[in-house]
Amino acid sequence: MDTRRALLAALESGPVSGPALADEIGVSRTAVRRAVEGLREEGFAIEATDDGYVAPGDPAYCAAGIEFGLDAPYAVEYHGSLPSTNDRARALAADGDADVAVVADAQTGGRGRSDREWVAPSGGVWVSVLTSPSVPPARAPLFTLTAAVAVADACREVGVEATIKWPNDVLVERSDGGDGDERGDRPGFVDRPARGGRKLAGILTEMEGEADRVSWLVVGIGVNANLDPETLPAGATSLRTERGEDVDRRRFLARLLEAYAELAADPDAVLPAWRERTSTLGRRVRVETPGGTVVGTAVDVEQPGTLVVDTGEGRTRVHAGDCEHLRDADVR
Ligand code: BT5
């Protein structure tokens, strides 16, 4: 373990004496002092007291702040602004890195699926988790569903009743059954109505693989956290809007990463957990797929994340596509 990580770990259980830590991990006292300075520069405001170094009571949203107390196997890389955390994670993958969570306060070139724009101003939770799981590439879609479950749970823990829309959206359902677009059209943004709910979060999974094994997998997660609707596309919502107050992004992201890591390690648990949290199953849906439009009732989800739609003429299995929840009046 490097000095920075050893220091962060030691700070979890109370004050740390610099010389004692230096002896314990076998580095110089200067190395410990440098690690303290480095963490402070990152924004993790370590205090020096008579008992030794003490962690800040309310750590900032920064790499060390997120890593502090994190029970998930990722190093955190934090940026104030990036074009896209997915692009940064892909660059790390090309260098052979893995098990990194790339976080940015803002993204200037955030991406959705099919090169759509993802609006990502300062105040959201924008993160890409880079791993190298020992699974065949065909299993990759399951990680999107895994992330959706983790996002829904993290949102519910802060009091927002989020549900999952197949495959990659996390929504807040509207009680009045409206389509979430009453704030009017916004040129450039409104390419898909958020019918059946307001979009709180989206997931973009990218990977590279050989025939039998994924080389790298990047799961990009965007959650509209402390943002106002005016800064988001029509049909979107945020944790701030739903709760009426801000979330602690540091805690929220830590819970999200922990939930994701835990479920990713237990693939058999993903589909049952997903079924419990989705608003797609049992609904009339229209799915735009590469092979055409499928309309019917969504009846199940199967490995590795395939949606089963009952079209009235049989069951169709959809592997990828854009899904819209329909109201009965929409079904033609
Ligand atoms: C997604 O695509 O929902 C995937 C979004 C993934 C974003 C994360 S943030 C961290 C990481 N780095 C990245 O660059 N990306 C990932 P899709 O299903 O294609 O939905 C895209 C559509 O959602 C857009 O065309 C807009 O209509 C809408 N949209 C854009 N920004 C939004 C926002 N902040 N909140 C809600 N909806 C949004």
Ligand 1 touching residue 168 (CB < 6 A): yes
Residue 131: name the closest of 270, 41, 261 by CA. 261
Mean pLDDT confidence for 54-69: 97
Looking at per-residue pLDDT, the higher value among 189 and 268 belongs to 268
What DSSP character marks residue 284?
E
Ligand 1 touching residue 321 (CB < 6 A): no
Residue 185's pLDDT is 43
Residue 184's pLDDT is 42
What are 309-327's pLDDT values in tens digits?
999 999 999 999 999 999 8
Residue 206 has pLDDT above 80, yes or no: yes
Residue pair 34/46 in contact (Cβ under 8 Å)? The answer is no
SS3 39: helix
Here the tokens at position 191 are 């390419």
Mean pLDDT confidence for 159-187: 74
User: From atom 16 of ligand 1, which residue's Cα is the shortest distance away?
Assistant: 220
Residue 182's pLDDT is 44
Residue 218 CA to residue 88 CA, distance in Å, equals 10
- C-alpha of residue 331 to centroid of ligand 1, in Å: 26
Residue 301: name the closest of 162, 98, 164 by CA. 164
Kindly list the distances between the CA atom of residue 284 and the CA atoms of 31, 94, 156, 208, 331, in Å, as whole numbers in the listed order. Answer: 61, 41, 25, 34, 8
Residue 320 CA to residue 198 CA, distance in Å, equals 21
Ligand 1 touching residue 79 (CB < 6 A): no
Ligand 1 touching residue 144 (CB < 6 A): no
Ligand 1 touching residue 222 (CB < 6 A): yes
Residue 40 has pLDDT above 90, yes or no: yes
User: From atom 33 of ligand 1, which residue's Cα is the shortest distance away?
Assistant: 119
Ligand 1 touching residue 202 (CB < 6 A): yes
- C-alpha of residue 304 to centroid of ligand 1, in Å: 22
Residue 198: name the closest of 234, 246, 247, 145 by CA. 234
Ligand 1 touching residue 85 (CB < 6 A): yes
- C-alpha of residue 266 to centroid of ligand 1, in Å: 27
What are 235-291's pLDDT values in tens digits?
999 999 999 999 999 999 999 999 999 999 999 999 999 999 999 999 999 999 999
Residue 57: partners with Cβ closer than 8 Å, 6 or more residues away: none
Here the tokens at position 215 are 């080389």
Residue 210's pLDDT is 87
Residue 211's pLDDT is 83
Query: Which of 82, 118, 257, 287, when mutated, tests ligand 1's pocket best, judged by the most ligand atoms within 8 Å of its CB?
Result: 118
Ligand 1 touching residue 198 (CB < 6 A): no
Here the tokens at position 162 are 């989020």
Whether the model clears a pTM of 0.85, i.e. scores above it, the answer is yes
Ligand 1 touching residue 305 (CB < 6 A): no
What are 77-128's pLDDT values in tens digits?
999 999 999 999 999 999 999 999 999 999 999 999 999 999 999 999 999 9
CA 118 to chain centre: 13
pLDDT, averaged across the chain: 93
**pLDDT tier for residue 183 given thresholds of 50, 70 and 90:** very low
> What are the backbone angles phi and psi of residue 309, rounded to the nearest 5°?
-115, 130
Ligand 1 touching residue 170 (CB < 6 A): no
Residue pair 263/276 in contact (Cβ under 8 Å)? The answer is no
- C-alpha of residue 221 to centroid of ligand 1, in Å: 9
Residue 99 CA to residue 129 CA, distance in Å, equals 7
- C-alpha of residue 91 to centroid of ligand 1, in Å: 20
User: From atom 7 of ligand 1, which residue's Cα is the shortest distance away?
Assistant: 222
